[in-house]
Structure 1
């Protein structure tokens, strides 16, 4: 895939492409649970635009095309809630989801002082859960939503500055 995919903040102009990609990406999720009424498939363009205005939304672009996206917002207690990590089916398995997740974590830490990250995944979405675990997320709760679907909540704390980095900082300022 190379370095041709760029990640940046989404703008209103991207809203329609994000929504189309969201509809495409969540079809498999809906099929997995036999529920086509899930929020990602019923979200309206107006609602997405409102989300763009208040939250932190990133897009991955390949030329003019939006091929991935992720969203996050930080609650008053410093918990960053990350959601709607989507990657175009033909771009999957190339590390783009990982790049998007790392990018939103960094942005939420820098711009909004996130103290921990939280996200929820359907219990059957094993690939997604595996991805999050490999990036340091730990399952903390499972909650039934319907007879067919339980949501697994995973959390991660930002890595503290390592001792080595702190030592180097002191050495530099001494």
Structure 2
């Protein structure tokens, strides 16, 4: 996998398109078309990308954005979100590689990473424990549960 690229405001439109394409199957699996990644507006995404606490990374292939992740850093904690891979590029290890590369580029002050996914998200539910995340708890959502994970960084 190529080194991830830092994403910014100029990438917002393409990132939003990738995000929506990647989350359609999640919405179907959870019978929830109102998932936040599908309803987020371009303006909202631009605001997130402007936040200095947001570290957004992506992978491009032949100029096309094919994978992305956002990590919001809050002191010693960081929340991983919106790890997405283009539907036609899945099962190539892009999500895993990008997540690990993004984690490695976080400030050394970050000690703990958290994330969540839906209980019917089979790919992420396999991926996160495989890269060191452990399930901490589940919370009810509209007809399903969110599965929360945590990872402590060794430094």
Number of aligned pairs?
A: 153
Aligned to 2:16: 19
- Give the helix-richer structure, 1 or 2: 1
Residue 126 of structure 1 and its aligned partner are, at CA, apart by: 2.1
Q: Residue 153 of structure 2 aligns to a residue in which SS?
A: coil
Partner Cα distance (2:113, 2:16) in 1: 24
2:124 matches 1:125:
no
Answer 1 or 2: higher relative contact order, Cα 8 Å, separation at least 6.
2
Partner Cα distance (1:6, 1:84) in 2: 19
Residue 11 of structure 1 and its aligned partner are, at CA, apart by: 2.1
- TM-score normalised over the length of structure 2: 0.93
Aligned to 1:170: none
Aligned to 1:157: 152
1:72-151 correspondence to structure 2 within 5 Å: 72-76=71-75, 78-110=76-108, 113-146=109-142, 148-151=143-146
Over 4 Å off, 4+ runs: none
Residue 63 of structure 1 and its aligned partner are, at CA, apart by: 2.2
Residue 6 of structure 1 and its aligned partner are, at CA, apart by: 4.2
Q: Residue 108 of structure 1 aligns to a residue in which SS?
A: coil
> Are 1:121 and 1:129, in contact at CA under 8 Å, matched by a contact in 2?
yes
1:63-78 correspondence to structure 2 within 5 Å: 63-76=62-75, 78=76
Residue 81 of structure 1 and its aligned partner are, at CA, apart by: 0.3
- Any gaps of 5 or more consecutive residues in structure 1? 161-174
> Are 1:109 and 1:115, in contact at CA under 8 Å, matched by a contact in 2?
no
- TM-score normalised over the length of structure 1: 0.84
RMSD: 1.2
Partner Cα distance (2:30, 2:42) in 1: 24
> Are 1:22 and 1:40, in contact at CA under 8 Å, matched by a contact in 2?
yes
